[in-house]
Chain A
Amino acid sequence: MRSLPVSDPGTPDHRGPWRFLAWLARVQARDLVPAIGLSVALMVAQAMLPALIGRAIDAGLLARDGSALLRWSLLVLLLGLFQAFAGPMRHRLSVFIWLDAAYRTLQLVTRQATRLGATLSKRLTTGEVVAVGLADVSRFGNAMEILVRAGGSVAAIAAVTVVLLSSTPRLGLVVLVGVPLILLAGAPLMRPLHRRQTVQRELSGELTTRAADLVAGLRVLRGLGGEEPFERRFRAESQEVRRAGERVGEADAMLQGAAVLLPGLLVVAVTWLGARYTADGVITAGQLVACYGYTAFLVNPLWTLADTAETYAKAHVAAGRLVRILDLEPEHPGDGTREPHGRELLDGDSGLRIVPGLLTAVVAGEAAPALADRLGGYADGDARYGGVPLDELAGLRRRILVARNEDRLFTGVLATEVAPAGTEAEVREAIRDACAEDVVEAVGLEGFVAEGGREFSGGQQQRLKLARALAADPEVLVLVEPTSAVDAHTEARIAGRLGEHRTGRTTVVFTASPLLLDRADRVVWISGGRVAAEGEHRDLLARVPGYRAAVTREPEHAAPRPDRPTSRE
């Protein structure tokens, strides 16, 4: 067996759901074709078992011929040996095909996500994309895998048809008409089952959400109380799920009963007619047994075909969702080609001018995220670097890095996460300057950052992200509130090291913290979407009342305890 995943999942045809499924079948053709071939051989062999048993009865038992009995029994044995070999082989091929389809789709979704970047979360929720990447991949796996069984089933049905019609035409006709009738009669029973299953899935989904909600809020419940009412409520919903489950069970029971009754009636018809033909000498006793065998056997491949239709209905829906993701194009791909003239970053909308090589602190309040996005070329606007509009700039993402608290830490080795291509010295320096040494002390440089750093405190995560941004070492580093979750002691140290680390390169920090503002080369105050004042922190504090209000808390409103003096300066 070849190894998976493939290095290149290929370029999918995303002009429509069916086209995508056809594309998937095409790229997997070299595995599908032999697997279907094997499946055909296997199913035909299985279909022949009743015939062999029938012959053994006729030629061996009724004719009282010991050697014929031996011959036919050995053939049954041989058939069994073939199945024992071919069955597991087909299983292996099927699993490979299933996995190939699932993995390939996963790769496509991953590649598309990394290509779309910021555009992805703007258009679709994480849940939507992950659902496609996980729940739906199994539908594609099923769609490819069932081709194998469906191929075998078609061949088996064809083989039985030929055998029946040539040996016992009249009984054959009964079987051939009867089996599809069974399926037709059984189909209406599927509908209530599916309907109730949908209701049950929704209810149990809600129950799981409820349980997850309780667990997520367990601190609150155990800390403040309320376990009992929440437990009562969960029990009530759980009982509702139970009732929905029972209703599914009843619909399923109807189907199970029908699965006995309908083929059973056909067996009755075949046996009754067959017995009469046997009595009249039209067919032999062995042929009667064979007919009984065929009737029982044919039900399976026919169910497989019904299953195939359903599998493709589901795969079509899943492919529709996938195609919608594959269709998206990044809004600001950052793939311009113009080289900048100089290194000055300018935001035309606000008039913000970033002097190259300096640490600029920007006090922008709620406007900070949007302004940072414009500076990074993530949003429409009139931002230029060295005179070139950001959409046209060559190597935009390499030159300008916007680091926000919403950024994710990724699971993996700590040093690799901070700087995938960095030397140990570079990593250590970035970690030192972001004051994240305590994290390294806790897990080690080669330690594992689990669950995207969720085991670290908010402050530790923030400092790791800062270290990562420093290690990336871009021409322009834009940091948005980089110390909002860090204690004052540590913040003071970061303020000192940040400027040092970025010496000679351009750094923009959106912050309102006096500790950071005090260490910046330049401070810009944005008010009403425009630059309102520029200068040094202390200078602005003294000279601009609005700035003072924005960075200190004093004039805006009284501190929480009005009985105390608010300033002790």
Chain B
Amino acid sequence: MRLPVASSAEVKAYAKRLVLRHPGALARTVALHGLAAACGLVTPWLLGRLVEDPHRRIDLIAAGIALFVLLQAVLTRQAFASSARFGERVLADLREEFVSRTLRLPLATVERAGTGDLLSRTTRDVDTLTRSVRYAMPQVLIALIIGALTLGAVALTSPLLLLPSLLVVPMLVFSTRWYLSRARDVYLGENAAWAEIADGLTETVSGARTVTALGREHDRRAYADRQIADSYRMERRSLRLRTLWYPTLELGYVLPVAFTLLFGGWLYLEGHVSLAQVTAATLYVQQLAHPLEMLLVELDELQLGGASLARLLGVADLVEDRENGDVPNGVELSAQDVRYAYGTRDVLHGVSLDLKPGERLAVVGPSGAGKSTLGRLLAGIDAPRTGSVTLDSVPLAQLPLEELRHRIALVTQEHHVFRGTLRENLTLVRPASDDELRNALDAVGWSGPGLDAVVGSGGAVLSPAQAQQIALARLVLADPHTLVLDEATSLLNPRAARELERSLGAVLEGRTVVAIAHRLHTAHDADRVAVVEDGRIIELGTHDELLALSGSYAALWRAWNGT
């Protein structure tokens, strides 16, 4: 499942809100850049005066130029520092809001969508946007200011001399619009192709042993070459666009210079303008090349940033829709005639199940039978399509998350250890004293480092069994009355699974447990066993009852036990 992407109207509205959130900083930045650019325009004007009449007060004019250069330098420094402060604020707001939204995603979405798409938004899109805000945004701003002021200076020098520059504007506007309307897709395609190359290389490198074991050396090389060829195709497309666009830019820089020189020269010869005016205007127009280039080149980058922003904002479209209804007092979990569909196909066909408080129920059955789906419904993560899952007659899927957490927990194969101290990894469940934390760790037989040890990526290396123990200690702290275990230990090697047995036993003690089991000994140890096949419970009873039934479970047990 992919997460949504925001529309371009939403992106624009958000960007506007974000920028206007710091009006003072924005105004200061614009004003400083404007003043700096204005100072830069004095030099050509003074030079024009010198050219016209070399016998003016040369030293005074030179001192004037020096003064304005100094002023421009100081203002430029202030302007850049101010725009960096402004940009960094905007960026911080952006990423903090994104993370805050992510942390409020509906539980069902998190469980189903997986984290791949979200992860690439968190890393790649945030990076792209950072580049855009940090470099493209100020450049575009500066280019616009300088460009406008320079044109203004030409107009001040002589409004007539503005004409040659305006001549190229329609051409530039047309070609740039043509380019930008096509460039976004091509750039996204280019980036996607590079991302594919990255994924392919990661696979080849991390699976290097598999490659040689299976004799796939040639295949992997060919695969990489194909991805490179795809990337090259995208690069060629963008290059073709630029090959058509760039000449208009180059002409846009140089045509105004030639035209201003020619037209201004003619006006001078006809006696309409002075030599100083022609010289200054020509130099101004020549100076236009720089902001123009900056503006046009950075527009690309700004567009990419917009695409990334759309993906980041898309996350906001998902809100938790649990209603704040009744709060259950009892602990009786019950499913009545539950059906659930992925798309249009039902995977559960009317399952009913009443759990006795404190009992241990093992759910067995072949892959794809609907065991995990049943587990998610019983844990209150998803709501059934029809039928009901209730806790003390309160519909589970409507229970607010805060209420649900300390009543029912789903334990899966995933057991993430966060970067941080062991203490932080435990207190995320609830604030607790060190004694409580140590008790929880003791309960799961923890023999790893102490509470202050830094764990997670970059910290102390933990074995898979230890990671699982942390997950179990969290459960001890959360203290839910019901646990749904989905293949909790199945991916570990058998020996680690055995070591964990005791830790798990301590956590399960005194709680209602639904264990979706791969291993038959789990079923053997349970109070009741439910056999799920094709979305139905086909056998339900104690281990001994099911053996007596001589059905599907009995056959499996005999094969397992070698009898």
Q: Is B197 an interface position by the 8 A CB rule?
A: yes
Q: How far is the CB of B103 from chain A (nearest CB, A)?
A: 4
Residues of B near A275 (CB, < 8 A) are 50, 54, 58, 61-62
Residues of A near B197 (CB, < 8 A) are 106, 134
Residues of B near A56 (CB, < 8 A) are 261, 265
Closest A-B pairs by Cβ, 6 of them: A249-B84, A226-B428, A80-B254, A117-B212, A408-B207, A560-B505
* Alpha-carbon separation in the docked complex, A455 to B1 (Å): 10
Whether A69 contacts B269 by the Cβ 8 Å rule is yes
Residues of B near A245 (CB, < 8 A) are 84, 87-88, 91, 134
Residues of B near A514 (CB, < 8 A) are 559-562
* Alpha-carbon separation in the docked complex, A568 to B544 (Å): 8
- Give residues 181-222 of A contacting B (CB, 8 Å): 204, 207-222
Whether B279 contacts A289 by the Cβ 8 Å rule is yes
Whether B495 contacts A223 by the Cβ 8 Å rule is no
- Give residues 387-435 of A contacting B (CB, 8 Å): 397-398, 401-403, 406-408, 410-412, 420
Question: What are the interface flags for A334-352 relative to B under an 8 Å C-beta threshold, 1 for contact and 0 otherwise?
Answer: 1000000000000000000
Which listed residue (B84, B201, B419, B505) contacts A253, Cβ 8 A? B84
Q: Which of B4-12, B68-76, B176-184, B300-308 contacts A (4 or more CB under 8 A)?
A: B68-76
Whether B265 contacts A126 by the Cβ 8 Å rule is no
* Alpha-carbon separation in the docked complex, A322 to B209 (Å): 20
Q: How far is the CB of B411 from chain A (nearest CB, A)?
A: 9
Q: Which of A148-156, A166-174, A480-488 contacts B (4 or more CB under 8 A)?
A: A480-488
Whether B268 contacts A61 by the Cβ 8 Å rule is yes
Residues of B near A559 (CB, < 8 A) are 501, 521, 525
Residues of A near B81 (CB, < 8 A) are 249-250, 253
* Alpha-carbon separation in the docked complex, A378 to B210 (Å): 12
- Please name 11 pairs of A and B residues whose Cβ atoms are closer than 8 Å in the assembled complex, sorted by A: A56-B265, A57-B279, A73-B261, A74-B262, A207-B95, A213-B456, A226-B428, A253-B81, A261-B73, A275-B50, A410-B203
Which listed residue (A117, A243, A366, A541) contacts B209, Cβ 8 A? A117
* Alpha-carbon separation in the docked complex, A368 to B88 (Å): 54
- Give residues 417-472 of B contacting A (CB, 8 Å): 417-420, 424, 427-430, 456-458, 471
Q: Is B352 an interface position by the 8 A CB rule?
A: no
Which listed residue (B105, B518, B520) contacts A222, Cβ 8 A? B105
Q: How far is the CB of B69 from chain A (nearest CB, A)?
A: 3
Q: How far is the CB of B32 from chain A (nearest CB, A)?
A: 10
Q: Which of B236-244, B333-341, B387-395 contacts A (4 or more CB under 8 A)?
A: B236-244
Q: Which of B16-24, B323-331, B363-371 contacts A (4 or more CB under 8 A)?
A: B363-371
Whether B80 contacts A249 by the Cβ 8 Å rule is yes
Q: Which of A10-18, A31-39, A87-95, A311-319 contacts B (4 or more CB under 8 A)?
A: A87-95
* Alpha-carbon separation in the docked complex, A481 to B497 (Å): 13
Whether B206 contacts A560 by the Cβ 8 Å rule is no
Query: Given A62-B275, A265-B69, are A407 and B99 also a contact pair (CB < 8 Å)?
Result: no
Chain A residue nearest in CB terms to B252: A84
Chain A residue nearest in CB terms to B265: A69
Residues of B near A488 (CB, < 8 A) are 364, 517-520, 556, 560
Q: Is A304 an interface position by the 8 A CB rule?
A: no
Residues of A near B283 (CB, < 8 A) are 289, 292
Q: How far is the CB of B52 from chain A (nearest CB, A)?
A: 8
Additional A-B contacts beyond A110-B204, A223-B405, A398-B215 (15; CB < 8 A): A83-B254, A85-B247, A88-B243, A110-B201, A207-B95, A211-B95, A218-B118, A219-B115, A222-B105, A224-B429, A271-B50, A285-B51, A406-B209, A487-B517, A560-B504
Whether B282 contacts A222 by the Cβ 8 Å rule is no
State how many residues of chain A have any CB contact under 8 Å with chain B: 170
| Band of interface residues on B | 35 or more
Query: Given A261-B69, A292-B47, are A69 and B266 also a contact pair (CB < 8 Å)?
Result: yes
Q: Is A468 an interface position by the 8 A CB rule?
A: yes
Which listed residue (B51, B123, B430, B562) contacts A57, Cβ 8 A? B51
Residues of B near A215 (CB, < 8 A) are 102, 115, 118-119, 122
Whether B198 contacts A130 by the Cβ 8 Å rule is yes
Q: Which of A157-165, A229-237, A499-507, A526-534 contacts B (4 or more CB under 8 A)?
A: A229-237
Q: How far is the CB of B185 from chain A (nearest CB, A)?
A: 18
Q: Is A242 an interface position by the 8 A CB rule?
A: yes
- Give residues 232-260 of A contacting B (CB, 8 Å): 233-235, 238-239, 241-243, 245-246, 248-250, 252-254, 256-260
Chain B residue nearest in CB terms to A518: B562
Whether A568 contacts B77 by the Cβ 8 Å rule is no
* Alpha-carbon separation in the docked complex, A376 to B419 (Å): 37
Residues of B near A110 (CB, < 8 A) are 201, 204, 220-221, 224
* Alpha-carbon separation in the docked complex, A501 to B423 (Å): 51
Q: Is A375 an interface position by the 8 A CB rule?
A: no
Q: Is A356 an interface position by the 8 A CB rule?
A: no
